[in-house]
Amino acid sequence: MHIEAEAIVCAVRAHGEHGAVVRALTPADGLIAGYVRGGRSRRLRPVLIPGNRIRGDWRARSEDQLPALVAELVESRAGLHAEPLAAMAIEWTTALATASLPEGQPYPRVYAALEGTLAAIAAAPSARGWTAALARYELLVLAELGFGLDLSACVATGAREDLVFVSPKSGGAVSRAAGDIYRDKLLRLPAFLLEGGAGDWPDLFDALALTGHFLARDLLHGHAADTLAARDRLVTRLQRIA
């Protein structure tokens, strides 16, 4: 096994006295784990930070062996970890990739969405500027892993206009006419998820409530459910500043 690729660092775990096991997401080969010799050293700690983009070289003698990884920094996002909201967002987005994606399977769209979300976190002057990207990233992860929502037409009537709700059971969109009487039992569908662009805070929280419901129900079970605590902390912090 020999893979050379750019990758986003998603998780770092100490291994042995000086080393680290790093899981990083690549565009073509998916999530790959590798052992970095000296990964806890002063030289490599700033490189192996979740959210950083690296150039990785993974080598192993067999497919069953944990590869050795040599990592070079391409883009550092270490400075964002000094900002509480940005740090929480990076922690959650990278943890979601680690907890949900099977290793060694390509998800180029997830890679692009994660990189885009991280770039938005780095560039946006406020959290409102990147929360829409975060919600779209979560929607994409659900879709890529087989739990996509059908937001193209009303699940009850087939109408394609005025879609404002989502059924929490089917994951299908519901029009205002069909769903208004059941509005307390339905999830809200913010317009920006259909039309693009950004939303105001109420719409952004509706989007996060929508994706959060299906992430918890369909995707993150067992040990993977522990990662939802990072998401809960992020959403709570966003609610405080909204």
DSSP for 149-165?
A: -EEEEETTT---SSEEE
More confident residue, 53 or 17: 53
In this prediction, residue 17 carries a pLDDT of 85
| CATH fold of 2-76 | OB fold (Dihydrolipoamide Acetyltransferase, E2P) (2.40.50)
* Rounded Cα distance, 129 and 186, in Å: 27
For the cut 90, the answer to whether the pLDDT of residue 16 exceeds it is no
Comparing C-alpha atoms, which of 47, 9, 52 is closest to residue 31? 9
Domain limits, CATH 2.40.50.140, in the chain: 2-76
CB 63 within 8 A of CB 33: no
Q: Which residue spans of the chain are classified as CATH 1.20.1440.120?
A: 79-241
Contact residues for 29 (Cβ-Cβ < 8 A; gap 6+)? 3, 5, 104, 106
pLDDT at position 160 over 90: yes
Mean pLDDT of the chain: 96
Going by DSSP bridges, is the β-strand pair 150-154/172-175 parallel, antiparallel, or unpaired?
A: parallel
Q: Report pLDDT digits (tens) over 57-76.
A: 999 998 788 999 999 999 99
> Strand 2-15 relative to strand 187-188: parallel, antiparallel, unpaired?
unpaired
pLDDT reported for residue 197: 86
Query: What's the pLDDT score for residue 12?
Result: 97
Average pLDDT of span 82-107: 97
For the chain, give the percent of residues with pLDDT over 70.
100
With bands split at pLDDT 50, 70 and 90, how would you rate the model's confidence at 209?
very high
Q: Give per-residue pLDDT as tens, 212-228.
A: 999 999 999 888 899 99
What does the pLDDT average to over 74-88? 96
- The 3-state DSSP class for residue 199 equals coil
Across the range 73-90, mean pLDDT stands at 96
Q: Residues 164-208: pLDDT tens digits?
A: 999 999 999 999 999 999 999 999 999 999 998 888 999 999 999
Domain 79-241 has CATH 1.10.10.10: no
Is it the case that residue 1 has pLDDT exceeding 90?
A: no
**How many angstroms separate the CA atoms of 108 and 117, rounded?**
14
Encoding tokens for residue 230? 């990072």
What is the pTM (predicted TM-score) of this model? Answer: 0.95
